Chain A
């Protein structure tokens, strides 16, 4: 009986480890025009957490909670399979008013890609442009798009989605279809 209990415990522990190891493989596969997936050996550019201005932190939290998770229209309802795909959101500092960074509200990249899917990603908001925006919702809209990139969504020319229209801070039905195919049920 004791030996059997040990064997079961051992099996559970190893199964947990294997499950963890295979987690990224469970969401492998490409869809749409995912950033980073066309050349799977590529590493995406990444950013780091820094001290977030309170408004950025609040709105980024809102995006994570409402654009991605269950309570939002077209948000993912499978946080267990999605959270590991976007594990960090980075807000970085002023990149200034000149050069290619000045033309961007933000950008996204992924240091860890497995099977064409980002398993650890970062989104960066250019705080120089944050200050120009003077409002919270462009932050939400931008972070919605950056997270969408990390989930595999590319840009597209349509007005019903934050993947094109920064006026929206939600994913359109087209995006939801891709996300559902990739990650499971979406709301």
Chain B
């Protein structure tokens, strides 16, 4: 009997080791929050320098994909332009490490220095800093809602909000569909994969068509046909239970939550 216990214990131990090994392998494969960490980069990558490239900034080969709902939801470019503090086209001069946010999940934003070549709406200086999702605390680069981080030399058309980070003026795209990479004049622009209707409407446009659509949106806003959106204004009233789709029963009653 003691012998059978030893064998059984051995078997269970073997099983436990296998499970732990799997966990360890998983942690190694994913670079989880134990083990080596790569600090977000401090170097600056710039365009116009033979030796500079975005690789200087992206030390880690990993890319993290991130998705989530935006506080803004736009029907078309006119909606978006009416809400933006500035709409600009320009070239990325350099990218560098920005502010780090978060108490537990920490993110270091990417500061994108943009030379503004065309101002479609609002006000902006000749050179602005655009804040993008950058890196997690392991130094792994983030791709947010399908938008890859900008690189030196990229030509962008951006619908921007304006604010401050660490006391410095920064701009950021209103949502995933408010940023466009004009990579090739003969091909559709690249944008994020947010759920806005505007995303579906613009994804087939080439840069020239997008520029024209932006100019047209500006004319419509100037004619005061479109008011700016406010964060979350597409949400139903807080006192109204959301309407379920046809053929689907009403939302389940909200249970009393234990205090």
Residues of A whose CB lies within 8 Å of any CB of B are: 2, 5-6, 9-10, 13-14, 16-18, 20-21, 33, 35-36, 38-39, 41-50, 54-55, 58-59, 61-62, 66, 71-74, 90, 92-93, 95-109, 111-114, 119-120, 122, 124, 129, 132-138, 141-142, 145-146, 149, 154-157, 159-161, 163-170, 172-173
B144 touches A100 (CB 8 A): yes
User: Using an 8 Å CB-CB cutoff, how does the interface string of B178-203 with A read, 1 for contact, 0 for none?
Assistant: 00000000000000011111011000
A62 touches B165 (CB 8 A): no
- Does B52 make an interface contact (CB < 8 A)? no
Q: List 27 A-B contacts (CB under 8 A).
A: A6-B7, A9-B8, A20-B15, A35-B66, A42-B65, A45-B64, A45-B66, A48-B105, A58-B257, A61-B257, A62-B255, A90-B105, A96-B101, A98-B165, A100-B172, A103-B173, A103-B175, A106-B68, A109-B66, A122-B105, A132-B71, A133-B238, A138-B238, A141-B69, A160-B248, A164-B195, A166-B235
- A10 with B8, Cβ < 8 A, contacts A66-B252, A100-B132 known: yes
User: Using an 8 Å CB-CB cutoff, how does the interface string of B56-69 with A read, 1 for contact, 0 for none?
Assistant: 00000011111111
B34 to chain A, nearest CB (A): 11
- Chain B residues within 8 Å of A20, by CB: 15, 18-19, 22
- Does B78 make an interface contact (CB < 8 A)? no
- Chain A residues within 8 Å of B7, by CB: 6, 9-10
Q: Tell which of B14, B30, B33 touches A113, judged by Cβ atoms closer than 8 Å.
A: B30
Report the separation of the CA atoms of residues A9 and B14 in the bound assembly, to the nearest whole angstrom: 13
Q: Tell which of A109, A156, A166, A173 touches B247, judged by Cβ atoms closer than 8 Å.
A: A173
Report the separation of the CA atoms of residues A49 and B103 in the bound assembly, to the nearest whole angstrom: 11
B66 touches A107 (CB 8 A): yes
Residues of B whose CB lies within 8 Å of any CB of A are: 1, 3-4, 7-8, 11-12, 14-16, 18-19, 22, 26, 30-33, 62-72, 98-99, 101-105, 107, 109, 131-133, 136, 140, 142-145, 161, 163-165, 170, 172-175, 193-197, 199-200, 231-232, 234-236, 238, 241-249, 251-252, 254-255, 257-259
B232 touches A2 (CB 8 A): no
